[in-house]
């Protein structure tokens, strides 16, 4: 499995981790509900990642890598400021914005992948 390319820049500050809970719910009368975790991995970590001030080559390298995975194939990503490497998938296409003269901004959402 491939690793997200190192373009010489970490994601911008403001990296947001937004966990998602997967819960099975059964509703009964009078508003009563019964809930339980859905499976073994019911807590999935999700990161909103953004790189700013990327050169054309840096933006293209990240964009092309993520697009080549087509939202299906997972890859390894090291969480900035930590030594933790996680398997993630980017289900939505990344957003590449021309932000300044020859500089780009790239945004993506990485979801933790639990596949074997």
Contact 26, 33 (CB under 8 A): yes
Residue 37 within any structural domain of the chain: no
- How many domains does the chain contain in total? 1
- Give the CATH number for residue 9: 3.30.200
Helices (H), the chain: 56-68
pTM, 2 dp: 0.87
Residue 28 within any structural domain of the chain: no
Residue 13 within any structural domain of the chain: yes
Boundaries of domain holding 81: 1-20+43-116
Residue 36 within any structural domain of the chain: no
Residue 69 within any structural domain of the chain: yes
Where residue 81 falls (left for φ over 0; alpha for ψ -120 to 50; beta otherwise) is left
Q: What is the pLDDT of residues 32-87, one digit of tens each?
A: 999 999 999 999 999 999 999 999 999 999 999 999 999 999 999 999 888 899 99
∠ CA 61-62-64, rounded to 5° = 65
Residue 35 within any structural domain of the chain: no
Token pair 């999700």: residue: 46
Cα 73 from Cα 113, distance rounded (Å) = 10
């Amino acid at each position: 499995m491939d690793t997200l390319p190192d373009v010489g820049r970490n994601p911008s500050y403001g990296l947001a981790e937004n966990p998602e809970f997967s819960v099975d719910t059964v509703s009964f009368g009078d508003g009563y509900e019964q809930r339980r975790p859905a499976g073994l991995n019911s807590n999935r970590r999700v990161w909103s990642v953004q790189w700013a001030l990327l050169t054309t080559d840096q933006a293209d390298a990240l964009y092309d890598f993520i697009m080549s995975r087509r939202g299906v194939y997972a890859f390894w990503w090291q969480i900035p400021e930590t030594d933790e490497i996680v398997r993630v998938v980017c289900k939505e296409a990344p957003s590449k914005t021309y932000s300044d003269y020859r500089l780009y901004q790239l945004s993506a959402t990485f979801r933790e992948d639990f596949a074997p």
